[in-house]
Amino acid sequence: MFSQHTGIRRAGAALAVPLALASAAAAHAEAPYPNRPIRVVLPSGAGTVTDQTARLIAERLSTSLKQPVVIDNRPGAGGNIAAIAVARAPADGYTLLFGTFGSLAVNKSLYDKPGYDPLKDFAPVASVAYLPNVLVVHPSVPARTVPELLALARKEPGKLTYGSFGNGSSSHLAGELFTHMAGVSITHIPYKGSAPSMTDLIGGRLTMMFDSVSTALPYIRDGRVRALAVTTQKPSDQLPGVPTLAAAGVPGYELTAWFGVVAPTGTPKAVVDRLNSEIVASLKQPEMASKLASQGTVPFPSTPAQFGSYIRAQYEKWDGLIKSANIRVEQ
C-alpha cells in the first residue's frame, strides 16, 4: 500500500537523481581545462599534408594535455564546411579548427557567401607550419632563370600557360600574383587537384605551374620538370641553389600555404593561452621539426596576437589581388 511516507521517500529519490546529475555536471565544468576529449576539425581529407601535420600536433597535444585529441576530417567547399562547423561550435576550447591559407585568409574574398567570417568568428590560437611552393617549368621551355621566363612571356603575351589545382587555389593565386607583379600575361589552366596538373606539365601540355616543394621534388630530381624559384621569403633547404622569386626577378614576391589553429570567438583567454603554450612547445622540439621537414613543411610558431595579425595581413593582401583579378569560386 502506498503510504504518505512511501510517497515522500520516492519523491525524495526522484529529486535526488537530477540533483546528483547537476552536481556531477557542475564538478565536470569546474575541473581544469581540458577535462574531456578535444576535437580538431580539418578542411581536408585524410592523407593530405594538412591532415598529416594536424595529426602530428594532435598527438603531441594528447600527451601534454592528457586528453584525447580527435581529428575530424570535413573536406568540401574549399574548406568552408569545416570552418562553419567550428564557427558555430561552443566557445569552450573543445572544438578547434586546423585552418589553412584558404579557409582563414582567402575564402572570405573568393566566395559570395562562405557562411562564416574568419576575422570575426575565430579566436586565433597559434600558427603551426608553412608549406614552401616552387615554380617549375617543363624541360623543353628555353628558360633556366626567372628573367628568361619573363622575357619569353613578354615576347609572346598569353602564349605561355600555367596549371593550377583549381580556381582560387593557392597554386592559382601564386600564378596570379606572379603575372600581376611581373606585369606579364600567362594563360591560367585550372585542374581538379595537383596530380592532373602535374601530369600535364610533365607531358609538355603546360609551360609551368606552382606546386608544393614536397610534391614537386621527385619530379625535379629525375629531371621531368625544372625548378626556377621558390615562393617563400627564404630559400628551401630541400632545393639548395634554387633562389626565391623575390631574389630571382620579382622583388617582394611571397606566397606560402600555411596552417594554424583557431577556436570559436569567445573562447576563454586562459584556454587559448594554454593551447598556444602547448602547440608552441611541441613545435620547438627537434623531433617535431624533423617530422615536419620529412613532409615538406616548416615550423611556424607564434603567439595568438601574432597569428591574428598575420591572418588579417594575409586577408588584406589576397583580397586586393582577388578583386583586381576578378577571381570568383561558385558554391
Residue at a domain's end among 197, 222, 248: 248
**Closest alpha carbon to 329 in 172, 194, 123:** 172
Query: Are 138 and 55 in the same domain?
Result: no
What are the C-alpha distances in Å from 20 to residues 29, 35, 164, 200? 14, 19, 59, 65
Look at residue 59 and tell me if it is in a domain: yes
- 307: cell is 597569428
CATH classification at residue 186: 3.40.190.10
For the chain, the C-alpha Rg in angstroms (whole number) is 24
| 69 and 91 fall within a common domain | yes
The pLDDT tens digits along the chain (331 residues) read 434 444 444 444 444 444 544 544 444 556 799 999 999 999 999 988 999 999 999 999 999 999 999 999 999 998 999 999 999 999 999 999 999 999 999 999 999 999 999 999 999 999 999 999 999 999 999 999 999 999 999 999 999 999 999 999 999 999 999 999 999 999 999 998 889 999 999 999 999 999 999 899 999 999 999 999 999 999 998 999 999 999 999 999 999 999 999 999 999 999 999 999 999 999 999 999 999 988 889 999 999 999 999 999 999 999 999 999 899 887 6
- The closest alpha carbon to 175, from 130, 143, 206, 129, belongs to 206
Q: Are 318 and 168 in contact (CB under 8 A)?
A: no
Residue 20 amino acid letter: A
239 is a domain residue: yes
* End position of a domain, from candidates 199, 227, 248: 248
d(CA 210, CA 176): 11
Please provide the DSSP assignment of 105-127 as one string: IIHHHH-S--SS-TTTSEEEEEE
Alpha carbon distance 79, 100 (integer Å): 8
Amino acid 8: pLDDT: 41
- Pairing status of strand 298-299 against strand 122-131: antiparallel
Same domain assignment for residues 102 and 182: no
6 HSE (CA, 13 A, CB side): 3
Do residues 165 and 241 share a domain?
yes
Closest listed residue to residue 143, CA positions, set 132, 128, 159: 159
Predicted local confidence at residue 3, as pLDDT: 47
Is there a contact between 126 and 280 (Cβ–Cβ < 8 Å)? Answer: yes
Q: Is residue 287 part of a domain?
A: yes
Cβ-count burial of 32 within 10 angstroms (0-12 exposed, 13-18 middle, 19+ buried)?
exposed
Residue 131 CA to residue 137 CA, distance in Å, equals 19
Q: Quick one: 88 and 173 in the same domain?
A: no
Judge whether 124 lies within some domain: yes
209 and 67 in a single domain? The answer is: no
Strand, helix or coil for residue 215: helix
Query: Quick one: 211 and 280 in the same domain?
Result: no
188 and 117 co-located in one domain: no
DSSP H or E stretch at residue 136: strand 133-137
Supply the CATH number for residue 84's domain.
3.40.190.150
Q: Is 155 helix (H, G, I), strand (E, B) or coil?
A: helix
Residue-range definition of the domain harbouring residue 78: 38-131+256-324
Domain assignment present for residue 200? The answer is yes
**CB of 128 closer than 8 Å to CB of 281:** no
168 and 224, same structural domain?
yes
Residues 260 and 113 grouped into a single domain: yes
H-only helix segments in 31-118: 49-65, 80-87, 101, 107-110
Cell of residue 93, nine digits: 576550447
Q: Are 226 and 203 a contacting pair, CB within 8 Å?
A: no
CB-based contact 49:295 (threshold 8 Å) = yes
Distances (CA, A) of 323 to 203, 315, 320: 33, 12, 5
Of the three residues 203, 224, 248, the one that is the final residue of a domain is 248
**How many folded domains does the chain comprise?**
2
Collapsed DSSP state (helix, strand, coil) of residue 321:
helix
51 in a structural domain: yes
Please check whether residues 115 and 142 belong to one and the same domain: no
Phi, psi (degrees; rounded to nearest 5) at 129 = -160, 165
